[in-house]
Chain A
Amino acid sequence: EVQLEESGGSVVRPGGSLRLSCTVSGFTFDDHGMNWVRQAPGKGLEWVSGINWNGGSPVYADSVKGRFTISRDKAKNTLYLQMHSLRAEDTAMYYCARERLLEGDFDHWGQGTLVTVSS
């Protein structure tokens, strides 16, 4: 069974940093591109960042470019999102999502981890 489990969310002050993790199981991690998607309270979905199967070509939404870094560790079957210079508008549920092989849509999602940026 494919499973994705996010962790690392917490309350952090503006300007602070946080690292989110997404540990996967039930599939070959190296085969799939992976993404982070966030959802502010009561709002819609916002794509944040993506990385291809081998860790190359990371891409970012303009809203997080230069502040967030996506990475993956094949040995740990884990996707990361390092977040710096956090702002109130980064407050959201953060989901990791797997890209479907040879397609690109997000066929499996984790349950999310909540990041709250507040003083």
Chain B
Amino acid sequence: DIQMTQSPPTLSASVGDRVTITCRASQRIDNWLAWYQQKPGKAPKILVYKAFNLESGVPSRFSARGSGTEFTLTISSLQPDDFATYYCQHYNIYPYTFGQGTKLEIK
């Protein structure tokens, strides 16, 4: 199975900060990577698919890049609505594993 490792597990930041979350796959997954945002008590919501494609309606302050085994999600200027937990997920081959999550907290 492909393992997904996210870092950092927790990130403390302030409104207006630029932050980056990293996701590493244990083997090459080409571009078959998605990023999700989850708020407490809610279902996850897709942000990015196929490594760098922003879902319709996702603000342009979000960007993503990467290929192969290393991927990043960047928020250029944090807004209050962005404080949440973020997960990466590969969908290269079953099982489609998730990273352990990065909780973005207000500093």
Contact = CB atoms under 8 A, between A and B. Distances in A.
A45 B43 CA distance: 10
A108 B36 CA distance: 11
Contacts, number: 60
Interface residues of A, number: 22
B49 interface: yes
Interface of B: 1, 32, 34, 36, 38, 42-46, 49-50, 55, 87, 89, 91, 94-101
A109 B98 contact: no
Interface stretch (A11-19, A23-31, A76-84, A99-107): A99-107
Contacts of B32: 104
Contacts of B91: 103-105
Given A44-B98, A59-B95, A105 B34 contact: yes
Nearest to B96: A47
A44 B34 contact: no
Interface of A: 35, 37, 44-47, 50, 59, 61-62, 95, 100, 103-112
Contacts of B100: 44
B46 A107 contact: yes
A45 B44 contact: yes
Contacts of A50: 94, 96
Nearest to B97: A47
Contacts of B98: 37, 44-47
Contact of A44 (B45, B46, B87): B87
A45 B87 contact: yes
B96 A95 contact: no
